[in-house]
Structure 1
């Protein structure tokens, strides 16, 4: 029974993390290392935007739903998720001055909000922390309409680390990294990358990997070790970057991007 409950808790945690990230993506709620959203808004501009309100509401719904599925009540989960998202732009400003204060502040606010709603501090802190932490790395797969023909990786910038877009053996033009290499900072924009390939006739799929901060750092280290690659090695290079990372540890080397994506989805239990 204990192991079954542990698996259920793990599955709920992964699903909640994925849902939080999707909310952030849909509401331009992901901030880069420059202190701006992917869409280019500063923290102050984001506070005043409609996307900010949608982000808070979305996090509240996800937090409340996760709380109910975990045996708690909707109100405490909604408050912890919503309050955590509400202070997110402020934590960006804090992080620029003192690293990691964003996470500490978000967890404290989420726990307090949950307590005020009659829940536990621990559960609220965890819900808010998930919304803050699991917003990081993604597998990007291109499909030419007949089969998947390219793999790339994106790692979101956070806590002083630049965002990285790894396009191994690819031909995406950028100011920062040339082609087929790692692209850093503001040029590492997965939305622009996706738009570029869609305009060139490809279907683009983004699968968020629900990685932790330490796992993201390891992925970036692997990217820097591999560096630029030759054509037709994209899936092999991407596999290598994930092969010693968390739940992907020991993943096989895949030559075909479609096979790599299917294995990633299998690991994420998102078939």
Structure 2
């Protein structure tokens, strides 16, 4: 089981905000096909939360060779984290409005960069509103932080490491994209040979909160994941796959991120593709 908390509830967060060591709160409002995340943030966000631009701050520029959301250069990520007000030793809480399917990218990336106390608000902004807590509008103005980040604290695989790997591949995209029936974003439809479909959306309930640990454990066990199974998670571009890794950790397993994911794989015509279930 993970040694540091992954989630914080809407009931727990206000108490943390009023403590002697309040967390830096990051609003990662992003959704595939919706470029108005900052506008949504300005309309209403958790008081003091700083908007994070996933495309610009949690990823390097997209290229066919590296995918739609390559990992950012560590110096760029450090500069962004300082803009958000993060210091060495800061605790961080991230959230979005789609069940942490986007903000999990910040959760994973900051841990990859060396921060140890990074949690997701379980249920995201919806849980905050449901709890009757107030929201702010406009833009927050954070203080400048002084954090020093170093990459590589969580495991990743490169595209050339995937073929022949003994690890089980989990495809976190929607099932119809896995089967090759629809592909709205990337050059080819289908999935990486040998992968199993495990849509990330099935990790959360109707209210956007993560399913209980025992339910997630049963889900992954049914897919053949055991205590000794090496797991590589991928999705379209390495965003939802971070959510899959969080769900694996909650369930007591571990996962390795393939950052390039399907956007990188499908852009290389020399890489084999499978379709169907």
Give the structure-1-normalised TM-score.
0.29
- What TM-score, normalized to structure 2? 0.29
- The higher relative CO (CA closer than 8 Å, separation ≥ 6) is in 2
